[in-house]
Every structure is written in C-alpha cells, then in structure tokens.
Amino acid sequence: MIPLLKIDQEKCTACYACVRACPVNAIRVQPEQPKPSIMPERCIGCGNCHAACSDNAIEIRDSKSELKKLLKSNQQIAAIVDPSIAGEFPDITDYRKFVSMLRKLGFGIIQEVAFGVELVANQYKDLIQNSKGKYYIFSNCPVSVMYIEKYKPGLIKNLAPIMPPSISTARVVRKKHGKDVKLAYISPLIASKEEAVRLESEEKIDVVLTFLELRELFKEYKLDEKNLEYSEFDDPLGYRGSLFPLSNGILEAADIDERVMSSKVITVESDPIFEAIEEFEENITHIKSHFNIFYKEFIMGRGTSPGGKKFLRRSQLIKYVSKRKSSFNATKHEEAIQEYSDINLKRTFLNDDQRLPAPPEELVQKILDELDQSEGRERGCGACGYPSCYDFSVAIAQDLAVPEMCTSYAARSKKDHIQSLKISNEKLAQTQEALKESEQIAQGEKQAAREASEITRTMLQKLPSGVVILDSTLKILQANQSFIELLGEDAVEINEVIPGLTGADLKKLLPYNFYNLFSYVLANNENITNRDVNYNERQFSLSVFVIRKNKIVGAVIRDLSSPEVQKEEIVKRLTDVVDKNLSLVQQIGFVLGEGASETERMLNAIIESYKPKH
C-alpha cells in the first residue's frame, strides 16, 4: 500500500516545518538522511505537515487513477458524498447541478451521507442514554480514532463502538442496490483514505476521493454546471444529518441536549483534542461527560480547498440544509429510518500501539549537555518542532531527530566549523610552504646526487684495476673499462653496443670457478679478499665485497701476471689509490650503499700483503 503521505526528497529543503506541525512526532530526521521522512505506521492522517510545507514537497496518496478504472468498468458505481460540498463548492449555484456533474462523470448512484449520519446519530443517542456510568469518546473523526489506537490504546475501550457515517451510508447503498455495487466516498478529509482501508469488510468502500481530487476531475473532463440540468440525490434522503460537517452536527442530528448545565456531551475541535483526550484519560471520573471530538470540522478538512473561510463555509452549509427543509418529507424519512434500522453499525478498533519507550534519563541529560541546554526541561524556542529542549533531547534519543535541527546548536556548530576550517587552512598553508621548501631541497639534493654519480662514474673508468658491480642474478649493473678489457676482445665489442656491459650476464662472460665466488658472497654475505684466480692463462687477484645484503655485490680485480708490475710498484699504486682516491671510493660507497667501508678495508689489506716482510 502506498503511504497516505510521503515527502518528495528532491523538493524538500529540510526547513523542518513539517516536523513542527506534526502533533505525534511521526516525521523522522536521521543523521544519514538530513531531510525528513514520514513514518506511515505513526501517522494519524491529520495532514498538518502537508499544509505547513511551503515547498509542496509532501504528496498525498492520489486516488483519481483508481477511480477512473472503476468508472471505465461495466460495474455499477455509487458515489457517497459528504454534505461538506455546500461549503466546498460555493461556485456551483445549486447542489442539484453538482449531483448532475457527478452523474455526468459516470456515477450511476449518488447518495448523500446525511441519511447515514442520522442512522449513526440514533446509535449515539441510545449509547448515551444507556451508558450506565461509562463515558465514551465519539468515533466519527478518523484522525481522533487513529490517535487513540496508536498513542492512547488504553482508551480504546472508551471509543464509541459505532461505525462512521460513511460506512453507515455504504451499507445503506449496498442493502438497496446489492452487494456488488462499487463505492466511492467523496470526503473532505485525507484521513478518510486510510479509514476506508482499515475498515475492510464485505461492505467496504472501494476508493476515497477528496474534494480537491474531485475538482481536478471536473476540470479534466471539462464539466460545467451551465450545460447540465438539475438532478437530485438518490433516496433515502437525510435532513439534519447534513449538519454533520460541523463539530456539533452529530448532536443536532441525534437531538442530544447541548445545554451547558444539562448536557452529557462535551464537544472539542482542533488541536485541543489532544489535551482533551489526556484529560479524559486522567479525570473522566470527575468530568463525567462523553467527548465528541473532531480534529477538524469536516467543512475545513485537509481534503478541501486551502484558504477556505470557516464561518463562510458554515453559513453556506446552514443555507444548504435550510433549502432542503422545504422538500423534506418527514413521514417518508421516518419510514426509511425504520427500513434500514436493522443495519449492523457495530465497530471494533485496532490496538496499534506506536508509543516509544522512554530513553534513560542519563542519556537525555547527556544530549541536553551536548546541546548546551542543561536547564532546558521546560524551556525551548520550538524551532526544532518540539515544545521544549527536553522533549527534543528525548526525540534525539529515540532516533526521531538530530541535534542539527536545533538552530542555536547548528549556529554554534557552524561557528566552530568555520574556526576549525580557518585553523586547518592556516596549517595547510604552512604545510604547503614546508612542502615547497622540501621540494626545493630535494631538487637540489637530486641534482647533487646526479652530479656526484656522474663524477663517480667518470673516475671509476680511470681506475687501473677492474671494477664490476652485480645484482642478485649476476647481471652487470656497472663495470669500468679495465674490467671490460680483462674479459677480452668479445667483451670490448659488446661494450661498444652496450656501454658498461649493463645487463650482461656474468655467467656467460666468466668461467664457473670465477663467477661462483660472486654467488658465494651474495648467498652468504661474506666478503672475499685477495683470492687468486686464473683466467685465460693469466693470474688475477680478486676481492668481492657486499654492497647490499643478498642484493648487490662489487669486485676489484687486479692482473698479477704482468711482468712490469712489481710488488713495490703495486704497493705504491695501491697507496695512491687509498690516499688520492679516498673521496672517490666514498662516492662509490654512497652509490653502492653499505659496501664503501668494506672496499676501503679490502684495499688496505691488499697494500699490507704486498709490503716487504722483515
């Protein structure tokens, strides 16, 4: 079932006017959805939210398409019309023209509710006369009935067990025309749409159309009284029952005493009904009166045109009833009352308790503290839609509201947010400046590293000893010219294509006994110093050292077979290497990582090994 009332989230501007207007807190605002939503299970159909919404964001369940389907069918369709038409349609000069317009629309039977009101009125008269000390709340107003069912279920036993006039009239029509006739109730209340659903029975009303929807259909089908003849309502006709749209109309129809000193009935209308129901619950043993309550007089129902003048409509209704008096046949009316007196008008009610459990007091107090309204039990501006800050805090605890609905809290939060943003922006500016400086430093360091790398590469090429650096797969990362030349002519040719033999596989350039020493250092992270190795009938001294554990190794290879190389000269050369190229080795260590210090120790060990022994 489509909800009676629904908020269009696209149109809604979250002004919370609907929250303020709802008398039963049936509209929820949640953190994840700041725009309000109506909870159908809590709604009583009063329509206050719809009237309060200046953005036209609240939709009422439309019944026109449903009625059109009925009118297009081959079934017999009856219209049950509330007497409020007299106040709603002053632009129609005679009610008989209005009836003719309904027939033109497609209704075969048109019954005014007035006769059904009189059947119900007689039931109320009997109920009051035979109440035996029990006091009742009249059940003609669907808004009041739903309020009691949902929020005062303890008073259900005090609801008058009598069907509303619309259902009474529906049963009259079906008794006269058969149970298969389809019924459309034209009502001044949007709550009647919900009441018809809740009162399902074999005589149920099939569709409820508001006066506003009926106006829209008249306009759509271009129906105008000027082109139509008079037509009367179908029998049986009522008389004083036509006063039902007024709050005390049911009493007038039942001829119930309304004098202050002697009446047993108190009539209450509009918002005070909630206070009245509260008092009935608390003090009925002292009040000792039945309550006839209407949330809205039917002539001012939410299904009527907005902006209507209450007392003007009231006067138009009285004129309408007075005009009917001239053609009223009392004898025929009494016969009709007797004919339909056997219709069952007993009614039961639904205990649909929607009361929420009271939240812990400490939680409510905590929320009040957060709102900075610790003393707000009785205080409140009402902007949030709740009578006090305490009630608002309870609603937050019950997940019906959010703190941002409080204007002072929202303003304070906004101020704090602006200050927080200001501080964040200042910090961001400082961070950006620091990043800019860091970027400039990094650029400088990057350039220095690039220059140092180039110097290292150049100086590496000038070393007389062969130097090579390898990765974990024994691929050459870097090699100097001396190393390339000791490998032979093939390596020199490859170097012309791939400078430095970068990426070449050492295993394909040197024999196993040679490159296996590199594999050993990579696997064990142990340096090898001054290892004699034979290659191509020449003797070399090999030192392999760890640069990055299990990742990168480096080696220095010296040719020991050259006849011109004497120990003294070797000592001298190596000393020069240590003394003159120390900075170069350090730069190489910077590039190669942790192996720099190992290189220095290795070279010193070589020098010591070639010094004359005493």
HSE value, Cβ hemisphere, 13 Å, CA-based, for 250:
29
Q: Per residue in 478-528, pLDDT tens?
A: 888 888 887 888 888 888 888 888 888 888 888 888 888 888 888 898 898
pTM over 0.85: no
Per the structure block, which two tokens stand in for 552? 């990168």
Cα separation, 192 vs 143, whole angstroms: 9
Residue bearing the bigger pLDDT, 392 or 602: 392
The pLDDT of residue 418 is 54
* Residue 347 scores a pLDDT above 80: yes
CA-to-CA distance for 352 and 55, rounded, in angstroms? 32
Residue 147's pLDDT band, with cuts at 50, 70 and 90, is: very high
Residues in the chain: 614
- Name the β-bridge partners of 183: 78
Cα 425 to Cα 50, 244, 434, 435, 439: the distances in Å are 43, 67, 14, 15, 20
Q: Which range among 167-181, 259-273, 487-501, 562-576 shows the weakest confidence by mean pLDDT?
A: 562-576
Rounded to an integer, what distance in angstroms lies between the CA atom of residue 121 and that of residue 106?
A: 31
Angle between helices 191-198 and 142-151 (to 10 degrees): 60
> What pLDDT band is residue 596 in, cutting at 50, 70 and 90?
very low
- State mean pLDDT over 90-94: 81
Question: What are the chain's domains?
Answer: 77-339 (no CATH), 356-398 (no CATH), 463-610 (3.30.450.20)
Name residues whose C-beta falls within 8 Å of residue 309's C-beta, 6 or more positions apart in sequence: none
Q: Is the pLDDT of residue 105 over 90?
A: yes
Average pLDDT of the residues in 12-37 = 88
How many of the other CB atoms lie within 10 Å of CB of 468?
27
Place 583 in a pLDDT band, splitting at 50, 70 and 90: low
On the question of pLDDT at 38 being above 90, the answer is yes
Q: pLDDT: is 614 or 470 the higher one?
A: 470
DSSP secondary structure code for residue 87 in this structure:
H
The pLDDT value given to residue 374:
66
Inform me whether the pLDDT recorded for 394 exceeds 60.
yes
Q: CA–CA separation, 321 vs 336, rounded Å?
A: 19
- Residue 416: pLDDT above 60? no
Distance of CA 151 to the CA centre of its chain: 27
Using the predicted structure, report yes or no on whether residue 586 has a pLDDT greater than 60. no
CB contact at 8 A, 169 and 115: yes
Number of Cβ within a 10 Å radius of residue 3: 16
Token pair recorded at residue 150:
């949902």
For the chain, the 3-state helix, strand and coil shares in percent, each to the nearest 5, are: 50, 15, 35
8 A C-beta contact, residue 291 and residue 250: no
pLDDT digit string, tens, across residues 215-249: 999 999 999 888 888 999 999 999 899 999 999 99
pLDDT at 603: 56
Mean pLDDT of 440-463: 74
Q: How much is the mean pLDDT over the chain?
A: 84
Whole-number pLDDT of residue 378: 62
Compute the distance between CA of residue 103 and CA of residue 81 in angstroms, rounded to an integer: 12
pLDDT tier, 279 (very low <50, low <70, confident <90, very high otherwise): very high
Closest CA to 111 of 82, 139, 138: 82
